[in-house]
Structure 1
Amino acid sequence: MKKEYSKHETDYIKKYEAEGYTANFLFMNNSLIDTETKKEYKPEEIFIVAHHRYEGMSDPDDMSILYVIETKDKIKGTHLIGYGPTADLEEAEFFKDIPENNNSNNADISELT
């Protein structure tokens, strides 16, 4: 069983930023958009390096997934989405449409370094 780094998304985000995953992505119009460059990416242009699921400590309906992403043009960053009852269905479909070959089985930050 893999040891979890943290129970909070922000701790993982900070750790990944220290590893060079500094871009932030926003989901809009069926694309992931780099908030700095405004470049848009489609599912086939996204590679999932790792992902981490979270459940809220006080509210089990407060669920999220942190995706660690690298784009086809080597931009590295993170994206946090809700899942479960709070999920944005279009955003969930976008991540479901990422080709299986673009998904790593890696979910532990210690395996990235």
Structure 2
Amino acid sequence: MENYAKHEKDLIHQYEAEGFTHQFRYGSGSLIDTETKKKYAPTDLRIVEEHRYEGMSNPSDLSILYVLRTNDGIKGLFLMAYGPHADTDTADFFKEVPQVDAQ
């Protein structure tokens, strides 16, 4: 995957075309698949890629796109704010999620 895109939406569309179609939300210490409602702990997930963005009109609008794979084979995406607007519980959760080893 080429690491350059003008907007996170560009990468979201590219990853969806590669099968990363599930969306997740964070709640009560778990990442929750919005379709199946299944909850995942950090040990149930792997970060395949992550991409950070600054807002085009406001550089303080920072976001990070996590490309994820679950231990049961689900592939999906999670977009969150980071920097001064980050939710600290969500940020702490992702610090515990292992990254896929580079090959």
Global fold match (TM > 0.5):
yes
Name the % identity: 54
- Please give the alpha-carbon distance, in whole angstroms, between the structure 2 residues aligned to 1:83 and 1:20: 25
- Please give the alpha-carbon distance, in whole angstroms, between the structure 2 residues aligned to 1:61 and 1:86: 9
Unaligned stretches of 5+ residues in structure 2: none
- The corresponding residue for 1:75 is 74
What RMSD over aligned residues (CA atoms) do the two structures have, in Å?
1.6
Q: How does 1:1-113 map to 2 (within 5 A)?
A: 4-98=3-97, 102-104=98-100
- Please give the alpha-carbon distance, in whole angstroms, between the structure 2 residues aligned to 1:105 and 1:62: 29
- Please give the alpha-carbon distance, in whole angstroms, between the structure 1 residues aligned to 2:60 and 2:4: 22
For normalisation by structure 2, the TM-score amounts to: 0.93
Aligned residues of 1:27 and 1:33 also touching (Cα < 8 A) = yes
Quote the offset at 1:60 in angstroms: 1.2
Quote the offset at 1:97 in angstroms: 1.3
For normalisation by structure 1, the TM-score amounts to: 0.85
Aligned residues of 1:63 and 1:83 also touching (Cα < 8 A) = yes
- Please give the alpha-carbon distance, in whole angstroms, between the structure 1 residues aligned to 2:20 and 2:53: 19
Pick closer, same or farther for the CA change 1:72–1:105 going to 2, 3 Å. closer
Runs of 4+ in 1 over 6 A off after TM superposition: none
